[in-house]
Amino acid sequence: MFARKPKEPIVITRIQCGPRMSQAVVANGFVFTAGQVAAAPDNASTAEQTRQILGQIEDLLAAAGATKHDIVSATIWLADIADFAQMNSVWDAWVAQGATPARATVEARLASPQYRVEIAVIACPDTENSPG
């Protein structure tokens, strides 16, 4: 039988913790963001909302000691999959080349009709990033 090693406690840090959810959580060296939507969605195109969201994600990652180079996974929800190219044009200009994360993009009904895109990421700071 294998002897179990005593587990070290996992330190959890919550960023912008609210009554319903935190905007980001750091646990066991990983940063998990909540799904981010545009702060000013009214009359904003999918591209404009995507730019807003990616800025918010950069701020959350910075608060957690990470950068966009540390993102290992992204999930993107679009209210209309026809907006895929619009979102992708902003994403492609923003994402760290050579450190692109695994990603899934799906169409979904979002929390409110003015939201056209929502993005959540998982990052792993303090690691060596090597291109694939």
In this prediction the pTM is 0.90
Q: Is the pLDDT score of 8 beyond 90?
A: no
**pLDDT tier at 129, thresholds 50, 70, 90:** low
State pLDDT tens for residues 15-37.
999 999 999 999 999 999 999 99
pLDDT value of residue 9:
86
What interhelical angle do 46-63 and 84-94 show, nearest 10? 40
Quickly list DSSP for 46-70: HHHHHHHHHHHHHHHHHHTT--GGG
Please state whether beta strands 71-78 and 102-107 pair in parallel, antiparallel, or not at all (unpaired): parallel
Residue-averaged pLDDT of the chain:
93
Q: What are phi and psi of 46, to 5 degrees?
A: -60, -40
Q: Is the pLDDT score of 106 beyond 90?
A: yes
- For 33, residues 6+ apart whose C-beta sits below 8 A from its C-beta are 23, 24, 57, 60, 61, 120, 121, 122, 123
Q: Whose CA is closest to 132, among 109, 104, 98?
A: 98
